[in-house]
Chain A
Amino acid sequence: MTAAELAVENVTLTAGAYRLVREVSLTARPGEVVGLVGPNGSGKSSLLRAVYRVLRPDSGRVRVDGADAWSLPVRRLARTLASVVQEPGADFDLTVREVVAMGRTPHKRLFDGDTAEDARIIDTALASVDATQLTTRSFDRLSGGERQRVLIARALAQQPGLLVLDEPTNHLDIRHQLEVLGVLRRLPATVLVALHDLNLAAYYCDRLYVLREGEVVASGPPAAVLTPGLLAEVYGVASEVAVHPRTGAPQVTFLPGEPRESGRGGATMH
C-alpha cells in the first residue's frame, strides 16, 4: 500500500441542533504527518469521525485519493484507511493477538483463512509498538496504555495508506508516547492525528491545523502556527515559544497568569 492523499472539503457536521464543525477544509499529502490541535470540544474528534466514516457530513466532502470516502464500499475504504478510535470495546475475552489479527479483516474474503503472511504482518505490527510481550495476554485485562498500543498495532496490521488517530498518546507514559509517534513518523503512510500535547505535535508533525469551536483558525508548519499570539487567542493562556536548540522544533512553555496581547507569527490566519 502506498501513501494515500486526504482532502477534506468544506465539511460541516452537526449533531441535532448543535453544530460540531463548520466549513472545515484540510489536506494531507501522501506521506505527510498532519496534526490536529485545539482545545477540548473544538471539533477534532468529530472531524476525524467524518474522515473514518462514522459521522456523516451535512455538507462538504471527504476524499481519499480523490474518491469520495462516503460513497466507497466500507470494506474498500478500510483497505486504505485505518484508524485508532476512542471507544470502549465489549468484554469478550480475546487475546491481544486476536485483536491485532482483526486488522487483517478488510483484506479477507468470506472464506479466506489466516496465512503465514498475515502472521508475519501481525508480529511486525506488535513489535513496532513494543507489544510483542503482550501477545498472549487477554485484551480485557490490559492497562489503558497497553490497550492503546495494541489498537495502534491493529491499525498497522491493516497496512493502511492513510492512518487516522484520535489522541493516540492518551494514557501512554512518556517513553511510549515518543515511541508511538516515532512509529507514525516513520510509517510510509499518510497520517492525520489529533494531539493534545503541542510540543509533541510540533516535533512530530509536518503541518498543523488549529481548530477552535469547530473552525480552522490557523494552519501551516508548526513553527508558523505555534505562536504566543495564537495560543493566547485559541487556548487563552500565556506562553513563550522558542526554537529548541537540539530538536530544531518550536518549544512551547506555558506561563501562569493572563495572556498579554502580543504580535502574531507568520501563521496563515483564516
Chain B
Amino acid sequence: MTVPAEAGAAPAVRTGRRERLRSRAFAPTLICLGLLLVVSLTAGLAIGSVHVPPGEVWGIVTHAFGGELSEPTWSRARETIVLDVRAPRVLLGAVTGAGLAVVGTAMQALVRNPLAEPYLLGVSSGASLGAVAVIVFGVSLAGPVPLSAAAFVGALLTLLLVYSTARAGGRITSVRLVLSGVAVAAVLTAVTDLLLLTAGRGNEARTVLAWTLGGLGGVQWSTLWLPGTALLLGIGVLLVRARSLNLLLTGEEAATTMGLDVARFRVRMFVVLSLVTGVLVAAAGPIGFVGLMLPHIVRLFVGGDHRRVLPTAALAGAVFLVWTDIAARTVAAPMEIPVGVLTALCGGPFFLWLLRRDARRNTDRGVG
C-alpha cells in the first residue's frame, strides 16, 4: 500500500536543518577524530620520562614497519622505549577507550537508561573477580586467554544478575539500576579483596591490587592481539545491529511491533558486551566512567542514531583514554597514577550532572 497523502501533496524531500547538520557533521567529525587519534598516539609515544620528539617517533615507527624514509639517527634505547615500552601501552589505551565507549553506548540502549555503563553496573567488578580468581588459584601461567575467559564469564553473570534485579517489577528506573549495580559491585569487590588478602602471596597481591585500580602499564606486544580482536568483533556486531539498538530507544513494546525479538536480542548483545568488557578488564583492569561520558558527549554532536554514535564514540573513547594515560604517567612523575583513578575523577562529577539533568527532565515532564 501507499500512505495516503493528506493536506496536499507530499512535501518535497526536505531533510531538516538539525538532521542535515548532524549528517553533515558526521563525516567531518569522524575525520577530525581520526586525525586527532593519530596525533594522540604520537603524543603517547613521545611524552614520558624520556622525551622523544614527534619527528623521531615517526622515524622510529616507519622504520619499524620497514620504511626506509630516514636513516636511524636515534639510539637503540630510544627505539626500545618507543616501540617496546610505550607503543603497546598506547595502543592498549586506544583499544580500551574505544571498547569501553562502545560498550557504554550499547548498554545504555539495551537497558534503556542513560546511566548504564560497565563500571557503574558492576560488570567490571564481575570481570575483575573472574580474573582475580584465576590468578589466585594459579591458572595465570596459562596466559591471557583463560584470564579473559574468566573475566568474560564474571562480566556476563554480573550483567544478567544486575539487569534482572533492576528489572524486577516491571520498568527499570535509574535509581534501581544504579543501586543494584552498586550493591552487586560492592559484594564482588569485597570477594575480590578477600581472595587477594587470603591468597598469602604478598607481592603478587600487590600487583593485582594495582591492576584492580585500572592501569595500562605492563602490557606487551604478545598479549595485545586479544583486546584488539575483541574490540573489532564487538564494534562489528554492534554496527550491524545498530538499527535494532535504535528501535530499543523508543521502548520495548514499540521495538517488538517493529519486528525486534527484544528478549533474544538483549541476551545476545549482553554476551557481546560482556565479552568485550571481560577482555578489556583482563588486559587493563576496571576503568570506570569512560563508557558513561563518551556516549553522551558524542550524542551532542551526532545525535542519537547508533549508526553514527558507535563509530564516533569508538574514536572519541580512544582519544580520551590515550590522553588520560599520558596524564596518568606524567602529572605525578616519576610516580604513576592508575588511569582508572583519573577517569573516575572526571567521571564522578559527570555522573552527578547527568543525574541532575535526568531529574530535571523528569520533573519537566511530570514523570515521577
A interface residues, Cβ below 8 angstroms from B: 1-3, 49, 52-54, 73-79, 81-83, 85, 87-99, 102-103, 105-106, 108, 110-111, 116, 119-121, 123-125, 127-130, 132, 135-138, 140, 151, 156-159, 161, 179, 182-183, 186-189
Partner of A119, one of B13, B247, B254, B257: B13
Q: In the complex, are the beta carbons of A108 and B243 less than 8 A apart?
A: yes
If A53-B256, A132-B11 touch, whether A125 touches B304 (CB-CB below 8 Å) is no
Which partner residue on chain A sits nearest B244 by CB separation?
A: A105
Which of A88, A97, A183 is B19 in contact with, Cβ under 8 Å?
A: A97
Cα distance, A199 to B260, chains bound together (Å): 36
Contact present for A2 and B1 (CB under 8 Å): yes
- A127 touches which of B11, B244, B247, B260 (Cβ 8 Å): B11
Instruction: Tell me whether B249 and A124 are in contact (CB under 8 A).
Output: no
Given A92-B299, A94-B303, verify A75-B259 contact (CB < 8 Å).
yes
- Is the pair A90, B251 in contact by a Cβ cutoff of 8 Å? yes
Interface pair B254/A98, CB less than 8 Å apart: no
Is A97 within 8 A of B358, CB to CB?
A: no
B109 within 8 A of A: yes
| Contact assessment for A79 and B259 in the assembled complex, using a CB-CB cutoff below 8 Å | yes
A-B CB contacts (within 8 Å), total count: 171
Give complex CA distance A119, B3 in Å.
Answer: 13
Please determine whether A95 and B259 come into contact, CB atoms closer than 8 angstroms: no
A53/B240 contact (C-beta < 8 A), A92-B114, A127-B10 known: no
Chosen A-B contacts, 26 in total, with CB atoms closer than 8 Å, are A3-B1, A74-B261, A76-B259, A89-B249, A89-B250, A90-B109, A90-B248, A92-B108, A92-B114, A93-B299, A93-B300, A94-B246, A95-B18, A97-B16, A102-B247, A105-B244, A106-B259, A111-B240, A119-B13, A123-B11, A123-B14, A130-B6, A136-B15, A138-B18, A183-B4, A187-B4
**Given pairs A92-B114, A102-B246, A124-B2, 7 additional interface contacts (CB within 8 A):** A52-B256, A75-B259, A95-B16, A105-B243, A105-B260, A186-B4, A188-B4
Min CB distance A164 to B, Å, is 8
Given A74-B261, A125-B3, CB of A93 within 8 Å of CB of B254 = no
The B15-42 residues at the A interface (CB cut-off 8 A) are 15-20, 22
Q: How far is the CA of A245 from the CA of B299 in the complex (A)?
A: 55
Interface status of B7 (Cβ within 8 A of chain A): yes
B251 nearest in chain A by CB position: A87
Which residues in A have their C-beta under 8 angstroms from that of B139?
none
Say whether B367 faces chain A, with CB atoms less than 8 Å apart: yes
Instruction: Decide if A157 touches B3 in the complex (CB within 8 Å).
Output: yes
